[in-house]
Structure 1
Amino acid sequence: MARAKLDDLLVFFAVARERSFTRAAAKLGMTQSALSHIVRGLEARMGVRLLIRTTRSVSPTEAGERLLQNVAPRLDEVEAEIAAISDLGDKPAGTIRITAIDHVIDTVLWPRLAPILPAYPDLHVEITSDYRLVDIAAERYDIGVRFGDQVEKDMIAVRLTADVRMMIVGSPGYFGDRPVPASIADLHRHNCITLRLSSSGGVYAWELRDNGRDVEVRVRGQCMFNSAYQILNAALSGCGLAFVPEDLAGPAVQDGRLISVMEAFCPSFPGLHAYYPSRRHSSRALALVIAAIRHKA
């Protein structure tokens, strides 16, 4: 198939995987109209409809799904082999795509990656903030970053941090006319700042420890966010209690802007890990990034 047609297939795969012309256009750096024109041309040349388009959604037809399942993985293998050959050059090159949550990007990934980038001008990193448990293979990420107990067993996992202790915190102003909670039952009488889960749309239940038992506590409050930064800021402004990692809230606790409570109920989670699929060819660029971000004991 001609190169132009291969490019058209890659456009179709992006739209089919994203189930959206809008998201695919953003990912590819193209306009929606250009993507739509390319897909229509591909359908005309193949003589079969590949996508079902409605005003609200895009989904593959039976033919489109077959193309996505049977051809896309083979093109991925071709791209991987080309990347492996290119990797035989003098310096690591290529783009490494990473997904992580926002405060991990700011506090762990970027401080470790920024110093190495000037030395490797052909290395590119694309880092996306996302609270979903992303299927990195399906969404074509090279690296995901999550707590160790969230990493699938078939992935290669590399520790990035020591275990992460959680904290329940509130501002001195919040506690000005309220008693400090001392039990899980007390939490239900407090204004708790909650987290909306991007993956399921549900509300995160605080994962606490009570007399040696793991318990999930469904708290309530006036404010809900989908980012740890906004939860921390709401706690700092006196909105209520927040359940956040120590590395995020610790500085504010140390300088007195927040008060840590119920410490015996707060667990430690397995440290943050970078994870990636087991591949026959791991590029030098990937190896360089992993070496830069891995935990240094």
Structure 2
Amino acid sequence: MSLRSDPFFGLPAFLAAAAAGSFTAAAARLGVSPAAVSQAVKSLEEKLGTPLFIRTTRRVGLTEAGAALLARTAPAAAEIIAAVEDAASVHEPSGLLRLTVPRMAVPLVMEPVVPALRREYPRIAVEVAVEDATVDLSARSFDAGIRIGEYVERDMVAVRLSRDITWAVVASPAYLAARGRPEAPQDLAGHEAIRYRFPNSGALYRWEFERDGRSFSVDPPGSLIVNDGALLVSWARAGLGLAYVADIAVDAELRAGQLVRVLEQFLPTTPGLFLYFPQRTQAQPKLRAFIDLARQVLRPVR
């Protein structure tokens, strides 16, 4: 079959490079050389008559034409991969399960579930990308993701993994001994907050509270800013300031007395962690196996 007559020529390399942001990483994923990926993409660009990537020494980014091609082909490629894996796993779930999860979900979900999954279904390979930013599952070729319920898109199938979250303002005993304990949200003006910056938008998170049935937010002062939840908790534990976190993310620190909750009567409760995925992928045996096992392993927590 000639290059012109083969509609799939170069597409695997294109999709892998688009998802990884690098020809080298795409080559590792495909099991070929970076030169082979680069040549395949170049041939596809020549066939289409337009560049698909903007190349730099460190990274490749999509052109407008590349982004348009990715938007059309990524969902179809996911369907093809799922169909092949379904056909190959009639007797036992198999294939690569790619998940995007926030750092909070690593100890709560990934650490207990994945070892059990590997023992029960050794033919399922697992790739986990730990990132707090919102992710387009199809564009990045993920089978499913885990996020806090309020950030899951409405058109996704969602499976509960944890109890609801009660948000918490926490600090170390040493910090509270030195700076005092805030009694109301307005008292935060006299304290040091450790701020969280959203990875996607770059906006600073405003701390959310409730009083007399009404919600309001506060933009507290703070000279420490981070976009990683684990580092935020570490700094709070070290006595560097107050932190606004999900209670399930600091349960161990609270029980050990390393962190103390304040302003409890003003904090809201929201949906917990959910596994989410497009409806078309829910029949995949590898994903069904993960869901069923996660429900078993996490039942006491849920």
Is this a same-fold pair by TM over 0.5? Answer: yes
Name segments (4+ residues, structure 1) moved above 6 Å: 2-5
Partner of 1:9: 11
Deviates more, 1:20-29 or 1:104-113: 20-29
Q: Which amino acid aligns with 1:84?
A: D
Q: 1:59 aligns with which of 47, 62, 67?
A: 62
Q: Give me the whole-angstrom Cα distance separating, in 1, the residues matched to 2:85 and 2:253.
A: 45
Quick one: structure 1 residues 36 and 220, their matched pair in 2 at CA, closer, same or farther if it must change by over 3 Å?
farther
Residues 94 and 211 (structure 1), Cα distance of their counterparts in 2 relative to 1, 3 Å cut:
same
Once the two structures are TM-superposed, the CA of residue 250 in structure 1 deviates from its matched residue by: 2.8
Distance in 1 (alpha carbons) for counterparts of 2:68 and 2:104: 39
TM-score, normalising length: structure 2:
0.86
Relative to structure 1, is the Cα distance of residues 19 and 96 closer, same or farther in structure 2, using a 3 angstrom cutoff? closer
Determine the structure 2 residue equivalent to 1:184: 185
Question: Offset at 1:195?
Answer: 0.9
1:214 and 2:215 correspond: yes
- Map Cα deviations across residues 52-80 of structure 1 (whole Å, 9 max, x no partner): 53548633354x45644545544433222
Measure the CA separation in 2 of the matches of 1:154 and 1:126: 24
Bigger shift: residues 92-101 or 13-22:
13-22
Tell me what 2:196 maps to. 195
Range with greater deviation from structure 2 (68-77 or 228-237):
68-77
Counterpart in the other structure of 2:248: 247
Which residue in the other structure is 1:83 paired with?
A: 85
Deviation of 1:129 after TM superposition, in Å, equals 0.7
Distance 1:256 1:61, change over 3 A: closer
SS at match of 2:138: coil
CA distances 1:92-142 after superposition (whole Å, capped 9, x unpaired): 101111111113122223202212312321111111111111121222211
Q: Which residues of 2 match residues 250-269 of structure 1 at below 5 A?
A: 250-269=251-270
Structure 2 residues without counterparts, runs of 5 or longer: none
Report SS of the residue matched to 1:279. Answer: helix
Structure-2 separation of matches of 1:195 and 1:29: 38
Q: CA RMSD in A?
A: 2.7
- Using the TM superposition, name which of 217-226 and 5-14 deviates more: 5-14
Asked whether the equivalents of residues 282 and 288 of structure 2 are also in contact (C-alpha less than 8 Å), the reply is no
Residue aligning to 1:116: 117
Separation in 2, partners of 1:30, 1:264: 57
Q: 1:2 to 1:173 in 2, by over 3 A?
A: farther
Corresponding position of 1:146: 147
Q: Is this contact kept in 2: 1:80–1:281, CA < 8 A?
A: no
Q: Which moved more, 1:130-139 or 1:46-55?
A: 46-55
AA partner of residue 201 (structure 1) = G
Normalised TM-score (structure 1): 0.87
* Count of aligned residue pairs for this structure pair: 294
- CA offsets 1:131-179 (integer angstroms, 9 cap, x no match): 1111212222111111222211211111101111121111121122322
User: Residues of 2 paired with 1:251 and 1:281: CA distance?
Assistant: 33
AA aligned to 1:168 is V
1: CA distance, partners of 2:216 / 2:24: 40
Q: Alignment identity in percent?
A: 33
Structure 1, unaligned stretches of length 5 or more?
none
Q: Quick one: distance in 2 between partners of 1:65 and 1:223?
A: 36
Following the alignment from structure 1 to structure 2, what is the Cα–Cα distance between the partners of residues 34 and 93?
27
Secondary structure of 1:136's match?
A: coil
| Deviation of 1:275 (Å) | 0.8
Partner Cα distance (2:97, 2:139) in 1: 15
Q: Equivalent residue for 2:239? A: 238
Q: Return the alpha-carbon distance in structure 1 between the equivalents of residues 221 and 287 of structure 2.
A: 42
| Distance verdict in 2 for CA 1:261–1:68, change over 3 Å | closer
Decide whether aligned partners of structure 1 residues 209 and 93 sit closer, same or farther in structure 2, where only a CA change above 3 A counts. same
* 8 Å Cα contact 2:170/2:236 also seen in 1: yes
Contact residue 9 and residue 44 of structure 2 kept, 8 A: no
Q: What CA distance in whole angstroms lies between the structure 2 residues aligned with 1:65 and 1:168? A: 41
Residue 153 of structure 1 aligns to a residue in which SS?
A: coil
Does the CA contact (< 8 Å) of 2:133 and 2:198 recur in 1? yes
Specify whether residues 193 and 30 from structure 1 end up closer, same or farther in structure 2 by C-alpha distance, changes over 3 A only.
Answer: farther
